[in-house]
A and B are shown apart, each in its own frame.
Chain A
Amino acid sequence: MAELVQLFALYGVIEEYRALDEYPAEQFTEVYLFQFQKLTSARVAKWNTDEKSFFGGQLHVCYAPEYETVEETRQKLQDRRRYVNRASQNTAKQQDRQLEESTESSSTDTRTAAAPEIQKGFEKARMENVNSDDMGFSVLPLTPVEDVSYRLHGFEQPLQLQWTTDTTLPTEDKMGSLHNAIPPVTETSKQCASSASYKKERDLIERQKNLSPSVRFMPRTTHLESRKRKLEGQAFFLNEAAETETLIGPKLPELPKVDMEDHSLNVTTNLIRQTMSKVTSVPEIKPVQVKTPTAKPRRRI
Chain B
Amino acid sequence: MAGKSRFSASDRFEYLQGLVTEFQDTDSEEAKEQVLANLANFAYDPSNMEALRLLQVTELFLDMLTEENENFVEFGIGGLCNLSMERESRDQILQSGGVPLVISCLSSNRDETVLSAITTLMNLTTAASRTETTDGAVVQCMLRFSLTQNPRLRNLASVFLEDYCTQQQVDRAREEMQGQSQSAVGIPLPKD
Contacts from A to B (Cβ < 8 Å): 65-70, 73-74, 77, 80-81, 83-85, 87-88, 91-92, 94-95, 98-99, 102, 104, 106-107, 110-111, 114, 116, 118, 120, 123, 125-131, 138-140, 142, 160-166, 171, 174-175, 178-179, 182, 185, 187-190, 192-195, 197-199, 201-202, 205-206, 209, 213-214
Smallest CB-CB separation from A88: which chain B residue? B46
Given contacts A128-B1, A187-B27, A201-B55, 16 further A-B contacts (CB under 8 A): A74-B162, A81-B85, A94-B4, A106-B8, A129-B1, A130-B1, A130-B3, A139-B41, A161-B44, A163-B78, A164-B81, A165-B156, A175-B41, A190-B29, A193-B66, A198-B59
CB distance from B3 to the nearest CB of A (A): 6
Judging by beta carbons under 8 Å apart, are B17 and A164 in contact? no
Smallest CB-CB separation from B59: which chain A residue? A198
Judging by beta carbons under 8 Å apart, are B63 and A193 in contact? yes
* Contacts A68-B151, A77-B119, A118-B38; A102 near B30 (Cβ below 8 A): no
CB distance from B112 to the nearest CB of A (A): 5
Judging by beta carbons under 8 Å apart, are B8 and A98 in contact? yes
Judging by beta carbons under 8 Å apart, are A118 and B7 in contact? no
Judging by beta carbons under 8 Å apart, are A162 and B41 in contact? yes
Judging by beta carbons under 8 Å apart, are B49 and A199 in contact? no
Residues of B within 8 A of A92 (CB): 50
* Contacts A91-B50, A114-B15, A187-B28; A166 near B66 (Cβ below 8 A): no
Confirm or deny: B141 has a beta carbon within 8 angstroms of a beta carbon on chain A. Answer: no
Judging by beta carbons under 8 Å apart, are A123 and B25 in contact? no
Judging by beta carbons under 8 Å apart, are B29 and A187 in contact? yes
* Contacts A128-B2, A179-B30; A85 near B87 (Cβ below 8 A): yes
Judging by beta carbons under 8 Å apart, are A73 and B159 in contact? yes
CB distance from A254 to the nearest CB of B (A): 34
Complex-state Cα separation, A121 to B7, whole angstroms: 23
Q: Which of B17, B32, B119 contacts A165 (CB 8 A)?
A: B119
Judging by beta carbons under 8 Å apart, are A128 and B6 in contact? yes
CB distance from B53 to the nearest CB of A (A): 10
Per the CB 8 Å criterion, the residue count for chain B at the interface is 81
CB distance from A228 to the nearest CB of B (A): 27
Judging by beta carbons under 8 Å apart, are A194 and B1 in contact? no
Residues of A within 8 A of B60 (CB): 194, 198
Judging by beta carbons under 8 Å apart, are B11 and A111 in contact? yes
Judging by beta carbons under 8 Å apart, are B4 and A188 in contact? no
Residues of B within 8 A of A165 (CB): 81, 115, 119, 156
Confirm or deny: B122 has a beta carbon within 8 angstroms of a beta carbon on chain A. Answer: yes
The 5 closest A-B pairs by CB, nearest first: A198-B56, A163-B78, A87-B46, A164-B115, A198-B59
CB distance from A71 to the nearest CB of B (A): 9
Confirm or deny: B54 has a beta carbon within 8 angstroms of a beta carbon on chain A. Answer: yes
Confirm or deny: B175 has a beta carbon within 8 angstroms of a beta carbon on chain A. Answer: no
Judging by beta carbons under 8 Å apart, are A166 and B55 in contact? no
* Contacts A110-B6, A129-B2, A193-B63; A162 near B11 (Cβ below 8 A): no
Judging by beta carbons under 8 Å apart, are A174 and B37 in contact? yes
* Contacts A70-B158, A127-B45; A162 near B78 (Cβ below 8 A): yes
Judging by beta carbons under 8 Å apart, are B55 and A205 in contact? yes
Complex-state Cα separation, A187 to B48, whole angstroms: 31
Judging by beta carbons under 8 Å apart, are A209 and B151 in contact? no
Judging by beta carbons under 8 Å apart, are A114 and B38 in contact? no
Judging by beta carbons under 8 Å apart, are B8 and A166 in contact? no
Q: Which of A123, A125, A164, A202 contacts B20 (CB 8 A)?
A: A202
Smallest CB-CB separation from A94: which chain B residue? B4
Judging by beta carbons under 8 Å apart, are A205 and B17 in contact? yes
Judging by beta carbons under 8 Å apart, are B158 and A164 in contact? no
CB distance from B146 to the nearest CB of A (A): 9
